[in-house]
Structure 1
Amino acid sequence: MYRLMFKQFFRSNVVILCLLLVSVLGMTGILIGKQFLDRQERAAEQVTLYQQEHIERNVNFHQEEFGLLMYYLKFALINKPEKMAGLSIGQSDVNPAIQHVTIRNLEGQKYDTDLVNPSSLQSGNLDLGFVIIYLLPLLIIVFTFNLLSEEREVGTWQLVSIQSRSKLKYLLAKLSVRVLVILALFVLLLTAAKLVLGIPLDAAFFAFFLLGFCYIIFWFTVCFLVVVFQKNSSLNALTMLSLWLVLAILLPASINSYVSNRYPVPEALATMIEQRDGYHKKWDSDKRETMADFYAHYPQFEDYGMPEEEEEEEEFTWLWYYAMQQMGDDEAREESDAMRAKLEQRGKVSRSIAWAIPTMHVQLAFNNLAGTGSTNHMEFLDKTNEFHEKMRLHFYPRIFDNASVLEENWEKFEPEFMEKENAVEWFRLLLPVIICSGLLLFLTFLKLTLSKQKGQW
């Protein structure tokens, strides 16, 4: 029977055309992911060469004063994407993967990013994650909207009722053919992605596979619930497409709008203003007050002392200059911490609400597994803070002592890469989709039970 069902299913040219179209789009998404990874790889290589040339050039030009040299020198921290990022690019096309920082005030440097064509940002990326989340459900709808209604409309359902021991088993057998076809396509695309992108067979990859598998089953449960109401094909198609629009487009967009309005971040502008004012106002402030604040932050440097006489306060020193830079960051710290707290709250609320919306949950989970979500970027900003502080503590003594520039081993300052921990939280990852699928299966069973009692099955 299964062989006949498969032949009947593939007899339609529409089925073959839809499968080919989604396959082509899936392969296109994989190639787009490959281009993204190659671009990031080239950028990391170029940064390594650039930093070496940048340091050599500035050391040759500014050998007299260590403080003047450090005004210009930039050091790179790289958030190199994992191979999984090619599956779900997420926010990586917006958030910078490379931070070039000097040891001057940090808040004005952390949020610098590359210039990107806004049109490409508006349209987004067609990665494999997009194909799985948005296009496979449409393919499932195309394959299942007339699962039962077609039999009724062409007049074969009565024959099935007579010849089949169980009409429900027959219907489930037809559904299983479609499930196997979609899962085969999913496995084929994911296998191609593994080979093209060079993804290792680690926990993150298997988590991506299992989550995609559960997501496909969820959409089949959605469509089967609509089918068991035994409406005509047109109404089934309209209902399923409406559910897709609500789950895939309307609810995620509404929640994003709600979270943005519920947790606005005016601190972003306030941080920039405080950082700039905190630095520029120090030019007209008492130097002793600036140095006192600086030593309160770095007590290990108190031995460098205070300006003693009024005329000395009018003289420029690199000790005082970098103390001003540090004060700019210190005075913007409160707004910076508040902005970070708001961003973390946004992510927490979004993830909590997404437990009830599988499309949104899967999108966030794919980005998290690929290391391309907001959580990864926040970790990168934290690492930038640590990296900047490490550079400051290394060079401050040399600046304040006016050490010889040529005695420093500049060759050791290569771009650093952020270390990542890719722990998979299986419970949080799979449970929301499993619960939603189980709830839909329960509603389907309940509807079938009521229909049997009325003699409709």
Structure 2
Amino acid sequence: MTFAAIGQRDIYPWKHRIRMLAIEGQIYESDADNPELSFLGKFDFAFVISVLLPLFVILLLHDLRASEREAGRYDLLITTATKRQSLWLSRAIVICSALAIAILTPFIIGALYSAAAWGDILIVMAIVIAHLVFWMLVTLTFIASAKAAKQSSAQIASILLGAWLFISVIIPVSSDIALNEIVHTPKGGDIVLTQREAVNDAWDLPFSATWEPFLSAYPQWKDHTEMDSQFEWKWYYAFQEVGDQKAGAISQAYRHALIEKDTLAGYLALLSPSMLTQRLLSSIAQTDTQASLQYEQQVRDYHAALRLFYYPLLFSKEPFSLEKLNNLPEFSANPEHNKTLKDNQ
């Protein structure tokens, strides 16, 4: 379902080549994407539904009454109609039904091609229809008002487009700016810089500067830190671990800030149906902030399992064999699998 809602995948890295080196630098480094494609911006199904769909509804329905009034047919239509309101409502339903079919057909084809779950497909369709109905009712309510009866179709369109601009653009943009001002978020670059400076400085520091913080986390290796030369792999990977420890506080603050901003954004989304629709679609596609943080934790659990697999080979100098290689941890999309790997090592 990712094809329908990119969500936060254009903000948070989601492709990683995980090695046993310091994890913070691997987590927050940017994805290697084509820079020319990035100029296109984020244009997906969620954007079409949350931002463009209201425009389509307004453009199709704004002159539903005004065009008949300008053509001189309005009085005849309401005189011959059994129920005046049902006349405009039935027309709007027919038009919006055609619009729904035009928008949902490509989505259904893409979802079936991607082998998406039927439950997710039906939920997305329900969200799309609900959003369409909301804007249909907003448009019908306004064009039925006494104010709209005195205005031309162009004036009605201008007012409705102003409402769309406020609800679909100004509120989301203002919310994003407000959240950035309210919640202080450390930068991912600061986390990477702190970790890399700690790793690079370790080459020029005494061995004890690495072993002391490392053994505070892994005291079981305190009797295996002796070194026969100026470089050994156990020392190398130990100061990689220490680099992560020094960046750990900033990294944790970054995660807490993301969670706080996402929680507040959920409340602010109630003010904008377009913003709420986009969040719901991203949640279904598992490309929202919560899914990103869950995936990041899976990567961290896998990385921890790698370290716990190799440390006995590095510190106790156990003989390596192909049989042991068969127990090498493998990443899985199942979060419980990676956590179990880490716990079992």
Residue pair 2:28, 2:192 contacting (<8 A) in 1 also: no
Amino acid at match of 2:66: S
Residue pair 1:107, 1:329 contacting (<8 A) in 2 also: yes
Give the match's secondary structure for 2:23.
Answer: coil
Measure the CA separation in 1 of the matches of 2:232 and 2:108: 61
The alpha-carbon deviation at position 292 of structure 1 amounts to: 2.9
Measure the CA separation in 2 of the matches of 1:151 and 1:201: 42
Would you say 1:336 and 2:251 are equivalent positions?
A: yes
Summarize the Cα distance change of 1:263–1:320 in structure 2 as closer, same or farther, 3 Å threshold.
same
Would you say 1:265 and 2:185 are equivalent positions?
A: yes
Summarize the Cα distance change of 1:268–1:97 in structure 2 as closer, same or farther, 3 Å threshold.
closer
Residue of structure 2 in register with 1:55 after alignment: none
Summarize the Cα distance change of 1:188–1:286 in structure 2 as closer, same or farther, 3 Å threshold.
closer
Residue pair 1:267, 1:336 contacting (<8 A) in 2 also: no
Would you say 1:281 and 2:196 are equivalent positions?
A: no
Measure the CA separation in 2 of the matches of 1:355 and 1:381: 28
Residue of structure 2 in register with 1:223 after alignment: 139
In our comparison, the structure showing a higher alpha carbon Rg is 1
The alpha-carbon deviation at position 216 of structure 1 amounts to: 0.7
The alpha-carbon deviation at position 88 of structure 1 amounts to: 1.7
Summarize the Cα distance change of 1:187–1:290 in structure 2 as closer, same or farther, 3 Å threshold.
closer
Deviation string, structure 1 residues 417-447 (Cα, Å, up to 9, x no partner): 32269xxxxxxxxxxxxxxxxxxxxxxxxxx
Give the match's secondary structure for 1:215.
Answer: helix
Residue pair 2:15, 2:31 contacting (<8 A) in 1 also: no
Match among 282, 287, 294 for residue 379 of structure 1: 294
Amino acid at match of 1:368: S
The alpha-carbon deviation at position 119 of structure 1 amounts to: 4.5
Residue of structure 2 in register with 1:90 after alignment: 7
Would you say 1:403 and 2:323 are equivalent positions?
A: no
Match among 198, 203, 214 for residue 294 of structure 1: 214
Residue pair 1:89, 1:127 contacting (<8 A) in 2 also: yes
Would you say 1:366 and 2:281 are equivalent positions?
A: yes
Amino acid at match of 1:353: L
Would you say 1:180 and 2:100 are equivalent positions?
A: no
Deviation string, structure 1 residues 355-380 (Cα, Å, up to 9, x no partner): 11110111121111112222222211
Query: Alignment length, in residue pairs?
Result: 332
Give the match's secondary structure for 2:16.
Answer: strand
Measure the CA separation in 1 of the matches of 2:215 and 2:329: 30
Amino acid at match of 1:148: R
Q: CA RMSD in A?
A: 2.6
Measure the CA separation in 2 of the matches of 1:245 and 1:381: 35
Residue pair 1:105, 1:329 contacting (<8 A) in 2 also: yes
Please list every run of 5 or more consecutive structure 2 residues that lacks an aligned counterpart in the other structure.
337-345
The alpha-carbon deviation at position 393 of structure 1 amounts to: 0.5
Instruction: Name the % identity.
Output: 24
Residue of structure 2 in register with 1:206 after alignment: 122
TM-score, with structure 1 as normaliser: 0.66
Residue pair 2:202, 2:209 contacting (<8 A) in 1 also: no
Deviation string, structure 1 residues 24-77 (Cα, Å, up to 9, x no partner): xxxxxxxxxxxxxxxxxxxxxxxxxxxxxxxxxxxxxxxxxxxxxxxxxxxxxx
Would you say 1:131 and 2:48 are equivalent positions?
A: yes
Measure the CA separation in 2 of the matches of 1:115 and 1:361: 30
Measure the CA separation in 2 of the matches of 1:93 and 1:328: 27
Amino acid at match of 1:172: L
Would you say 1:346 and 2:266 are equivalent positions?
A: no
Measure the CA separation in 2 of the matches of 1:270 and 1:241: 42
Summarize the Cα distance change of 1:104–1:187 in structure 2 as closer, same or farther, 3 Å threshold.
closer
Would you say 1:252 and 2:172 are equivalent positions?
A: yes
Would you say 1:357 and 2:277 are equivalent positions?
A: no
The alpha-carbon deviation at position 201 of structure 1 amounts to: 0.9
Summarize the Cα distance change of 1:197–1:102 in structure 2 as closer, same or farther, 3 Å threshold.
closer
Would you say 1:239 and 2:156 are equivalent positions?
A: no
The alpha-carbon deviation at position 388 of structure 1 amounts to: 0.7
Residue pair 1:226, 1:239 contacting (<8 A) in 2 also: no
Measure the CA separation in 2 of the matches of 1:379 and 1:264: 21
Summarize the Cα distance change of 1:335–1:157 in structure 2 as closer, same or farther, 3 Å threshold.
same
The alpha-carbon deviation at position 155 of structure 1 amounts to: 1.7
Residue of structure 1 in register with 2:341 after alignment: none
Residue pair 2:306, 2:328 contacting (<8 A) in 1 also: no
The alpha-carbon deviation at position 135 of structure 1 amounts to: 2.8
Would you say 1:194 and 2:111 are equivalent positions?
A: yes
Summarize the Cα distance change of 1:87–1:180 in structure 2 as closer, same or farther, 3 Å threshold.
same
Measure the CA separation in 1 of the matches of 2:229 and 2:108: 68
Amino acid at match of 2:163: L
Deviation string, structure 1 residues 9-31 (Cα, Å, up to 9, x no partner): xxxxxxxxxxxxxxxxxxxxxxx
Measure the CA separation in 1 of the matches of 2:296 and 2:22: 14
Summarize the Cα distance change of 1:195–1:103 in structure 2 as closer, same or farther, 3 Å threshold.
closer
